[in-house]
């Protein structure tokens, strides 16, 4: 069901869902990071995969789980919970890798990444009026990593800002800092 929702949402030629008044509905993929519900805009999601073989990389921070082979292309896999300062994902029966395309700065194209999540839940349609600003306090995830709060079924779910979380320059910086601390002195 989720895969078919993603496939229909990601086709460029399909019309976006609309409310009765004609205003557009935004589609979100909802998933869990530990016990924390989260959402991302569906147009960032390419596909959802079961967790398969990942090759660990030496001298990487805990949030870099390794790389995987996606139809002949090497794709880095980021543990989204660990990247956000939440507990690292424990691989289980419902754990998934969400394949996303992140825009590179200065119109440099896109980077395909896999993000490890604890469980994918559903695809939802949300009206613009149900997107609220991120509060300055009270979120478990740093507000700099959130785009909005998605109101759905009397619950406010954080919409993750994948461009900020997976910013290649920031990731390279974090990996460099980790390597400096991880390497033994000469």
Closest CA to 120 of 31, 36, 47: 31
| pLDDT of 183 strictly over 70 | no
Q: Which two tokens stand for residue 5?
A: 């929702």
Q: Does domain 2-179 have CATH number 2.40.50.180?
A: yes
The gap from C-alpha 101 to its chain's centroid, in whole angstroms, comes to 10
* Terminal C-alpha separation, the chain: 54
Q: pLDDT-derived band of residue 1, with 50, 70 and 90 as boundaries?
A: very low
Distance in angstroms (rounded) separating the CA atoms of residues 152 and 65: 31
Q: Work out the percent of the chain whose per-residue pLDDT is above 90.
A: 67
Question: pLDDT of 88-123, one tens digit each?
Answer: 999 999 999 999 998 877 777 888 999 999 999 999
| pLDDT of 19 strictly over 80 | no
| pLDDT of 13 strictly over 60 | no
Distance in angstroms (rounded) separating the CA atoms of residues 40 and 123: 10
Long-range contacts for 102-110 (Cβ within 8 Å, ≥24 apart)? Answer: 102/44, 102/162, 102/163, 102/166, 102/167, 102/168, 103/163, 104/168, 105/167, 105/168, 105/169
| pLDDT of 14 strictly over 70 | no
Distance in angstroms (rounded) separating the CA atoms of residues 47 and 100: 7
Distance in angstroms (rounded) separating the CA atoms of residues 162 and 102: 7
**Contact present, 114 and 68 (Cβ < 8 Å):** yes
**Contact present, 30 and 124 (Cβ < 8 Å):** yes
Q: What are phi and psi of 166, to 5 degrees?
A: -105, 20
pTM, entire model: 0.85
Question: pLDDT of 45-64, one tens digit each?
Answer: 999 999 999 999 998 999 99
Question: pLDDT of 143-160, one tens digit each?
Answer: 999 999 999 998 999 999
Task: Compute the mean pLDDT over every residue in the chain, rounded to the nearest whole number.
Answer: 87
Distance in angstroms (rounded) separating the CA atoms of residues 156 and 148: 9
Determine the longest span between alpha carbons in the chain, in angstroms.
67
Three-state secondary structure call for residue 134 = coil
């Amino acid at each position: 069901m989720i895969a078919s929702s993603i496939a229909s949402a990601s086709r460029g030629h399909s019309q976006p869902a609309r409310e009765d008044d004609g205003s557009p509905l935004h589609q979100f993929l909802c998933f869990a990071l530990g016990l924390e519900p989260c959402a991302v805009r569906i147009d960032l999601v390419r596909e959802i995969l079961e967790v398969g073989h990942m090759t660990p990389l030496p001298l990487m921070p805990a949030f870099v789980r390794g790389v995987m082979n996606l139809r002949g292309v090497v794709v880095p896999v980021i543990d989204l919970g660990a990247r956000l300062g939440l507990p690292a994902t424990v691989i289980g029966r419902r754990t998934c890798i969400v394949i996303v395309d992140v825009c590179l700065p200065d119109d440099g194209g896109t980077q395909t990444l896999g993000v490890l999540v604890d469980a994918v839940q559903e695809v939802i349609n949300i009206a613009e009026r149900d997107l609220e600003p991120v509060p300055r306090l009270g979120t478990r995830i740093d507000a700099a990593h959130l785009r909005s709060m998605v109101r759905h079924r009397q619950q406010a779910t954080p919409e993750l800002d994948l461009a900020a979380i997976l910013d290649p320059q920031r990731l390279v910086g974090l990996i460099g800092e980790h390597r400096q601390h991880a390497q033994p002195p000469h």
